[in-house]
Structure 1
Amino acid sequence: MKLHQLKIRSGISTLLFANIFLFATFFFHQLHTQHVDLPDPTTLDSVPPRLHFLLPATHSTPEFCKTLLTTLLYDYSPVVTNWGDQERGPKGRLAKVSSDRDTLRPRWAQKADLSRKIKGVHDYIKNNVTSPEDLVFMIDAFDVWMQHPPSTLISKYLTSPPRVLIGADKKCWPPIPECLNLPSSPLPSQIYGDETDSGADQLGRAPTYNLNRPRYPNSGTILSPQSLLLPLYASLLHEVTAQNNPHDDQQLFISAYSLENASPEVEPTIKVDFTSDLFQVMTFSEGDMVFMRGRTYLENPLGGEEERLVWNRVTGTLPSVLHFNGGEKRLLKTWWERMWWITGGEGSEEEREAVKNWVKRKVRKGGVTDAKDGRWMAGPPTVRSGQKPLGPLPNRN
């Protein structure tokens, strides 16, 4: 398979990226002053496990570029699986891992997407993640932003027994019978008042899900030790091959989660992040969120670690990862201009310029690896909202 590179051209991209902040709209509004300390990665008793960070994607889009930018700002080292993968279907049509779940696409294309995505992740873990204690972190590549670096993500994860940690959604999708057999949320039953869980009919008949407690698996964010994730993905790969009409990998995770919890003798391996401490699934949750100052765990050019971040005011948590799925994908445009790496903080023009230059240096330093052969992929593309990626760069030797 020919290596496909991230779409970028060096000189033009650098010039355009430098102009991102010149064209960006600077948003300023009153912020709360609440400060909450997060786990300190430096207090870990032992050396933290190695983190393998996977982005399943076949191609680049402006939203992929945004995801990629946030990972590089927060010092992640992405490995792109499935890059350039395509498959011929009936009458020579092409299938590839799409930028979003699209139920209008032909069934053969949806199944090809799913099979190749799961196989790409499975094969990478099997061939490259050799230590059972190593952590594998995987996100949707087209609608996820970071708020903390790997060290903070790991330290949060290690506060509980190791499981396959997955994001918690307010709606079960796709609506399969297993949705009715999942564990209840441990959050207070009145966390939204008397209307809590008023949209509890999870088979698609409820008018709203805004006041539901998140408890349904969302496969857009996953963190797990290799020892648990590899056998799970081997099982998923078998299922997607055996099933006639699997909807997507999320359906497979819901089924696996339901089966585990229906069998008392089976020790659960999948855990849902009910409090959104690590993973914030945004569907029906925009009203739960608020911009407040919090620790980024990054040394920024303003001499501190606090910036305006997105908090969950219902659970009181500062999520490390934001997943803009479902109808909340519109926030990928409106909130992008509000994030601290775009606004440049709330200080003087000199301070905003310092943040802009710091972001440019971080992005230029970062790189992305192709999972097929381990070669460095040029990156990242220009990420100004609406800007199409540019042409390819040569590989780094």
Structure 2
Amino acid sequence: MLMSLRANIYTALIVPAVLIVLLLVWHNDSYDPKTLLSLGNHPSGGVPNVHLFFPVDKRSAESEDGSVVFCKTIQGAVVNGWTPILFNWEVESEHQMRKVQGLRDLLDSPVHTAGFEEDDLILMMDAFDVFIQLSPEVAARRFTEYGDVDVMAAAEKNCYPNDPNGHICQDAPWSPLHNGPNANLYRPNDDPNRPYDQEETLPRHVNSGTVIGKLSKMRTFYNELWDFMLSDTYEGWDDQGAFGIFLTDQPVKTRLSVDYHSRLFWPGFQDFQNIRFMGTHYPPDPSTAASYSDPEASDYIPWDLYPMLAHHRKTGEVPVALHFNGPIKELINEWWGQLWWSSQRDRFLPIIHQRMSQGKVLIAIPEGYREMPVQELCPHMDIWQWQSSHQTTDGRGSSVAQDE
């Protein structure tokens, strides 16, 4: 009788405890393990180096309006571990063709590619309307996971500036999301009888504002692109029209692909309704991962204490970069503060401030690159005035911030 009573007591105590443990484990691992691996700041594990290039001229970067959005782009890059390279800094013209010419000249230059490996990745992004939210290691790993790809650009829903009813737009390759197990993510957009719904339209056209590829492939591609844009064959005025031709007709040696799943790049025009901001299992600094526990040192971590990142609600992806292309520039200010590296949360301000204070950019000059501290480049950002009312020390003289 006594033994039976003890067994019942033990059962009454142990079963709820096991259920609680399982609940906590489930809560903390509710993301797909592949997603967690893809997001984590793990050692590079043999992935190639990535060199980030921004086309930007000094006059625009220092203008009253331009400096605000440009420095937000810089903050996202620097806090997430990138060292941006600025090119066309002394160029007066803002013409789109100068972006192609400038990058082509750099990739052709032994001076500017000294120390680069041919398999290093070259990532070119627009400088005034992009938020980077993940690290170079994640970008490199995701690109290599695509396999046999020469050059990859973003996939968007709008076919611009080419004729939407012409061959280049109408015959652009279909997205793989159109068929197979993911077909239910979007309604088919080839039904002439249904009204147009931009939220449900598949991205299948190319956006030239974010482009990545191996150095050897990008060098060839941008030479081919430049020659094509100067030829009598091309009647357009910017690089994106040429990118559209390259995607549909593939007229050159280098193959152009697009990131249909938005794992690398997300162009927001006609798709911004599909973004959600969520606390994400992604420590900004691996050395601080242990601090993501509650004051009781429990294994349970409330999701709102995780860093906030942008998720695509259709595909479940967390893009490396958000591109506010087209007429959605107001979202740059509306969404600023949502992502962890732009927030004013005490939990993240120390690492944001530290990385910005130590951050630098490289400016392309004829002799190579000139280094400039981020604080000199962007002296008017709010982060330089940061003072946390909750800031204390950890007993060793190091600053730590207490979370809200």
Q: Does the pair score TM above 0.5?
A: yes
- Tell me, yes or no, if structure 1 residue 214 matches structure 2 residue 203: yes
Give secondary structure in 2 for the equivalent of 1:317: coil
User: Partner residue of 1:57?
Assistant: 56
Q: Quickly say closer, same or farther: Cα 1:33–1:291, change in 2 above 3 A.
A: farther
Q: Any idea what the Cα deviations from partners look like across 1:184-231, whole Å, max 9, x if unmatched?
A: 1111455356x4426989xxxx86533211111111111100121111
Q: Which residue of 2 aligns with 1:183?
A: 173
- The verdict on how the C-alpha distance between 1:336 and 1:240 changes in structure 2, with shifts beyond 3 A counting, is same
Instruction: Tell me what 1:362 maps to.
Output: 355
Q: Aligned partner of 2:84: which letter?
A: P
Quote the Cα distance in structure 2 between the aligned partners of 1:246 and 1:331: 29
CA spacing shift, 1:306–1:188, aligned 2, 3 Å:
farther
| Alpha carbons of structure 1 residues 355 and 41: separation in structure 2 relative to 1, 3 Å | closer
Matched with 1:376 is 371
User: Is 1:278–2:264 an aligned residue pair?
Assistant: yes
Aligned equivalent of 1:328: 328
Would the alpha carbon gap of residues 159 and 237 (structure 1) be closer, same or farther in structure 2, given more than 3 Å must change?
A: same
Task: Identify if the C-alpha distance between structure 1 residues 275 and 82 changes in structure 2 by more than 3 Å, giving closer, same or farther.
Answer: same
Question: Partners of 2:316 and 2:208 in 1: how far apart?
Answer: 23
Give the corresponding residue for 1:66.
72
Aligned equivalent of 2:103, options 110, 114, 121: 121
Asked if 1:311 corresponds to 2:311, the answer is yes
Distance in 1, matches of 2:96 and 2:264, equals: 25
Pair 192,51 (structure 1): closer, same or farther in 2 beyond 3 Å: closer
Distance 2:190 2:30 in 1: 30
Distance 1:34 1:318 in 2: 15
Q: 1:141–1:335: structure 2 CA closer, same or farther, 3 Å change rule?
A: same
Matched residue, 1:349: none
Structure 1 residue 41: Cα displacement: 6.4
- What whole-Å deviation, never above 9, does each CA across 1:45-94 have from its counterpart, x for those lacking one? 5x3222211000113121111000100000101110101211xxxxxxxx
- Match of 1:81? 87
Distance 2:281 2:212 in 1: 21
Report what 2:298 is aligned to. Answer: none
> What is the 5 A alignment of 1:184-263?
184-188=174-178, 190-192=183-185, 195-197=187-189, 208-243=197-232, 245-260=235-250
For residues 30 and 336 of structure 2, the distance between their equivalents in structure 1, rounded to whole angstroms, comes to 23
| SS of corresponding position for 1:85 | coil
Residue 339 of structure 2 corresponds to which residue in structure 1? 339
Give the Cα separation in 2 of the matches to 1:54 and 1:117: 10
Counterpart residue type for residue 68 of structure 2: P
Residues 177 and 185, structure 2, Cα contact 8 Å, conserved in 1 = no
1:321 deviation in Å?
Answer: 1.0
Deviation at 1:280?
1.0
1:289 and 2:284 aligned: no
Which structure has more relative contact order (CA 8 Å, sep 6+)? It is: 1
Deviation at residue 42 of structure 1 after TM alignment: 4.2
Deviation (angstroms), 1:38: 3.3
Residue 158 of structure 1 aligns to a residue whose secondary structure is helix
Q: 1:175 to 1:121 in 2, by over 3 A?
A: same
Match of residue 154, structure 1, among 140, 145, 149: 140
Q: Which amino acid aligns with 1:180?
A: Q
Q: Could you list the runs of 4 or more consecutive aligned residues of structure 1 that deviate by over 4 angstroms after TM superposition?
A: 40-45, 198-201
Matched AA of 1:51: V
Determine the structure 2 residue equivalent to 1:109. Answer: none
Structure 2 residue identity aligned to 1:122: R
Q: Distance in 2 between matches of 1:341 and 1:227?
A: 33
Q: Is the 8 A contact 2:41 2:283 kept in 1?
A: no
Identity %: 25
How far apart in 2 are the matches of 1:378 and 1:200? 54
Q: Aligned to 2:161, which of 174, 182, 187? A: 174
| Unaligned stretches of 5+ residues in structure 2 | 1-27, 62-66, 293-304, 384-404
- Per-residue displacement from partner, 1:230-278 (whole Å, max 9, x unpaired)? 1110011112223574231111111111122xx8xx8762111101111
CA distance in 2, matches of 1:165, 1:384: 35
In 2, the alpha carbon distance for the partners of 1:169 and 1:200 equals 20
Query: Aligned letter for 2:350?
Result: N
Deviation at 1:135, TM superposition (A): 0.7
- For 2:316, the aligned partner's letter is G
1:327 Cα deviation from its structure 2 partner:
2.4
Residue 144 of structure 1 pairs with residue 130 of structure 2: yes
Q: Residue 119 of structure 2 corresponds to which residue in structure 1?
A: 133
Q: 1:35: which partner in 2?
A: 31
Higher Cα radius of gyration: 2
Report the counterpart of residue 24 of structure 2 in structure 1: none
**What's the CA shift for 1:298?**
2.2
Matched residues in 2 for 1:319 and 1:267: separation? 28
TM-score, normalized by length of structure 1? 0.72
- Residue aligning to 1:15: none
Change (3 A) 1:365 1:67: same
The answer as to whether partners of 2:277 and 2:339 remain within 8 angstroms in 1 is: no
More helix by share: 2
Give the equivalent residue in structure 2 for 1:7.
none
**With structure 2 as the length reference, what TM-score do the two structures score?**
0.71
